[in-house]
Structure 1
Amino acid sequence: MSCETAIDSNEIDQQKTLDRSSGSKINEDDNLNSELNQEDEEEFEVPEDSVLRRKFPMKNKWDLYYLKDDKDMAWLERLMKVYTFDDLGEFIAFLNEAKPPSVLKNGSDYNLFKHGIKPLWEESDNVEGGRAVLTLDKSANCEILDNMWKELMLALTSEHFAEYNNSICGAVCNIRSKGSKISIWTRNASDEATNKAIAKQMVETILNAPGIDKYRKYFESVRFEEHKQASQKNSSSLPPKILVYVKEIANVWKEKEEQQAASRTNH
């Protein structure tokens, strides 16, 4: 995989080198390790029911796509499937190695979709749908983009959208000089109640991102738009079907926190 994709191949090569060098060291000390293992075998053995042996299967498989920033290529040629995940632990390990969106070139995208659904408007699962989209101010710090995208991916793969999970197709992170975007794609643009609930929960998820308080000024709202509408020129100037203000959700959270704090004080 080239350095344009989600994982830096140089880092992988370096890690393999480290693994091989550490492996040779272990071989040199075979006698010592064997003696220690015999002496402390019971103490250091990992139990069968240990969390270290446990798998964390996802309810849905997820495909991660990367859209290369090469405008000389056809759009479909630029789109590459990076990985398919079915285990949450494996997914988190991948995120720790993958390039965050802030280091990708302008014009690149990350797309995380349920297995079998491609990040294309004309896909059968997407064609009648829309997206809840948040646009960051172009002056926003890279850190907040990375944290928000990671928080959203973990929420989706962990099925945190509860009864609305089946209405979600995937999520997209667009790297743009005018302001990067994060969005959730849904199946049915006409289901206003569900789409509004997903937009609200998207805001709540993003408000969990580390360091979000100091970056809240860089985004104001999540707007919902149909894919058919978004495909039109100057779609951003059209009125959204749904608009959820981040400040309103944050104020509700603040009130709940104050009430809970007062309740604890009274008790």
Structure 2
Amino acid sequence: MAALDVQKMEMPEEMTEEKLASLPPELLIKHPLQNSWTLWYYENDKSRSWEQNQVEIITVTSVEDFWSTYNYIETASNLKHGTDYSLFKQGIKPMWEDQRNRSGGRWLISLDRGDKQRRERLDVYWLDVMLLMIGEGFGDAGETVCGAVVNIRNKGDKIAIWTGDAKKAEEVIRIGQRLKEVLNINPKITIGYQAHSDTMVKSGSIAKNRYTV
């Protein structure tokens, strides 16, 4: 399926019943997404298990559902430290243990909290990543995309796109290249892909990159 330009389909934030009644019928038809996507929120409550801290917020099935949700929730830059947003295909949990994630990995983008433009870049990057996924902007390689996570942390924020099979090198690299292109990341800056299996057994603080672009 061709990529869907969800950015050009943003809906008005306020719409009264009177305004809805005046709209032509074709504008009332929702634009379905190729895949349904579930938004998750994580907050580190030490009295609960990691899995219990993952809260399923909503599943969106159309462009209009996505924008209604996005315009309602806090932006990533306004979240408190230690929290995450995750957007994953329906039925896939944002955890390594999920069978559809287990053999995969993630493209990782780190944002320095000392960056004066950090808040703006974080929100732009996170929105662009979500639009890439729900709009099927990775082409055929998008079949292996499972979801994305934004981590808000004291030391620095991270955005990651998760894929389901780290061994599919060609598809994984195409996703990384497309990600870098859409986010307009300087060609001189390298981003890396880490397999979940490598991250789980890392000996240092950082897992070795399986691929880079």
Give TM-score, length-normalised by structure 1.
Answer: 0.67
Q: Is the 8 A contact 2:113 2:155 kept in 1?
A: yes
Q: Which residue of 2 aligns with 1:111?
A: 86
Greater strand content: 2
Structure 1 position 186 matched with structure 2 position 163: yes
Distance in 1, Cα, partners of 2:179 & 2:168? 16
Residue number among 202, 225, 231 corresponding to 2:194 in the alignment? 225
Aligned CA RMSD, in angstroms, stands at 2.7
How many residue pairs are counted as aligned between the two chains? 197
Structure possessing the higher relative contact order (Cα contacts under 8 Å, 6 or more residues apart):
2
Q: Is the 8 A contact 1:69 1:106 kept in 2?
A: no
Shift of 1:177: 1.3
SS of aligned partner of 2:132: helix
SS of aligned partner of 1:237: coil
Q: Which residue of 2 aligns with 1:249?
A: none
The one-letter code of the counterpart of 2:64 is G
Shift of 1:153: 0.4
Distance in 1, Cα, partners of 2:112 & 2:201? 22
Shift of 1:235: 5.4
Q: Which residue of 2 aligns with 1:258?
A: none
Identity in percent: 33
Gaps of 5+ in 1: 1-18, 24-32, 34-43, 245-267
Distance in 2, Cα, partners of 1:236 & 1:192? 24
Shift of 1:159: 0.8
Q: Is the 8 A contact 2:107 2:162 kept in 1?
A: yes
Greater helix content: 1
Q: Is the 8 A contact 1:69 1:105 kept in 2?
A: no
Question: Aligned pair in 2 of structure 1 residues 220, 178: CA closer, same or farther (>3 Å)?
Answer: farther
Shift of 1:221: 2.9
Q: Which residue of 2 aligns with 1:55?
A: 30
The one-letter code of the counterpart of 2:140 is E
Structure 1 position 77 matched with structure 2 position 52: yes
Residue number among 63, 68, 75 corresponding to 2:43 in the alignment? 68
Give TM-score, length-normalised by structure 2.
Answer: 0.83
Shift of 1:92: 1.0
Decide which structure has the larger Cα Rg and report it: 1
Distance in 2, Cα, partners of 1:220 & 1:138? 18
